Amino acid sequence: MKIIIYPDYETDITVYEGMDSEVMVYDEKGTINTSLEKTDSLELFSTADAIIFTQKCIIDGKYDTSRLKEACTKIQNCVLDEVLLVFDTRAPPRTVLKMSKIIDEFEMIPDIKMAYTTVINDNLRIIAGKNSECQEKTVQIYKSISDEIRTVKHIQTAEFIPILQNAYKDTVIALANQTAILSEAITIDLIEAIDVANTNPDIHLLYPQPVLENNISRDSDEINNLSNEYGEPSQLSETARSTNNYVAYHMAYMAEKELYLKEHLAMFETTVAILGITSDKQLLTEKDNASLALIDDFVSRDVEVWAHDNKVPEEIIESHGAKKIELDEAYEADCIIVMTDTEEYRQLNPEKIEKVIITALPIFDPEKFKNVKYSSVGQYRLKEGEML
């Protein structure tokens, strides 16, 4: 089978080098580094059995199909009836349908052959085709480079699965965050409550936490966008986003209370160190970022803010009014706020903490930190006299 990969500059071509087919890479500008044979000829697309589009459809942390549209427009005059078009990219629902209308703009291909694939759960490849023939052919193409394959009946369904997974996470986290705030008012150890509740095999609660993973906030937003586009309600996703964005302000409240009650300090007198800005490999967008919102809130109240995250450029941190620091410098702050669960933050030395430390997640052993003014979301302000 002759296959042409049509990538963009962000495609990891090594993924396709193990394909058990005759594979060629379209490289118009000669900038792609690969051991596979390359071509800059558009005419060769008409000789292929399958064309695989790998253009990235998530740009700057949001869905953007412009690169894919450009690729489809470029080859629209080279596609013959029998060529299978495979879209191997994370894209919102109905993207493949929209691309088919670009490629076959004048409806000259009565039975255009199309398939969609992407990887979920780290190693599970899902595949859907326009019909069983397209699906089976796509499975044959990918079986040599996939750990596990699961077929899905329809392309739009396959496109929607990653969005559904991430919107679910956002919703479950929102439940945890909402109950965390309530738990502080009625003196409940929410972390223990969640641990015991999860002994029921039908319950899968997460700990309260800020959402600092772009996939989750982006896809929950996409549910709202799709609902608005098609005139359907989306109260649950809207509430989840609003609740999870509020976590930043709740943690600011926790810091203010802790510093006043335990150190007799007003916020404008203090220095706060915020550890962790993103859970991704890099900061993809500043939109709906709880750590940056927390920085903005403190800066607006004349608090001196320090921030640590080696994945985030100093210019971005400074643009929000904070100072980027090395991790050891955080010990000098009046209040340390840990926003992400990373190994380097788990290794913080309680003996070096001078005043207050707050964590968004229960990442520390309470016994190890018993001599420190430490609290976490969901385990805050547990009053001895009220804990029966």
Task: Give residue-wise pLDDT tens across range 85-143.
Answer: 999 999 999 999 999 999 987 676 778 999 999 999 989 999 999 999 999 999 999 99
Cα gap 317→30, rounded to integer Å: 37
What local confidence, expressed as pLDDT, does residue 107 receive? 74
Q: What distances in angstroms separate CA 297 from CA 75, 133, 343, one per listed residue?
A: 49, 56, 27
Task: Give residue-wise pLDDT tens across range 151-196.
Answer: 999 999 999 999 999 999 999 999 999 999 999 888 899 999 999 9
pLDDT surpasses 60 at 386: no
Q: Which amino acid is located at 136 in the chain?
A: E
Task: Give residue-wise pLDDT tens across range 264-278.
Answer: 889 999 999 999 999
Edge-to-edge order in the sheet of strand 113-120: 37-39, 22-26, 2-6, 50-53, 84-88, 113-120, 124-129, 148-151
Tokens of 142: 């990918």
Query: Which burial class, exposed, middle or buried, applies to 180 when counting CB atoms under 10 A from its CB (0-12, 13-18, 19+)?
Result: buried
Q: Looking at residues 285-290, what average pLDDT do you find? A: 95
Q: Looking at residues 202-215, what average pLDDT do you find? A: 96
Spatial neighbors of 222 by CB under 8 A, at least 6 apart, are 63, 92, 163, 167
pTM for the model:
0.92
Cα gap 59→184, rounded to integer Å: 39
- Phi/psi for 50 (5° steps) reads -150, 145
Domains annotated for the chain, with CATH where assigned, are 2-153 (3.40.50.720), 164-386 (3.40.50.720)
DSSP SS3 for 52: strand
Block residue for tokens 């309680």:
350
Angle separating helix axes 155-185 and 214-229, nearest 10 degrees: 110
Tokens of 193: 């409550």
Angle separating helix axes 214-229 and 235-263, nearest 10 degrees: 140
Do 72 and 103 contact (CB within 8 A), yes or no? yes
| Residue 324: HSE in the Cβ half-sphere, 13 Å Cα cutoff | 13
Nearest to 304 by CA among 289, 291, 321, 286: 321
Q: Which amino acid is located at 277 in the chain?
A: I
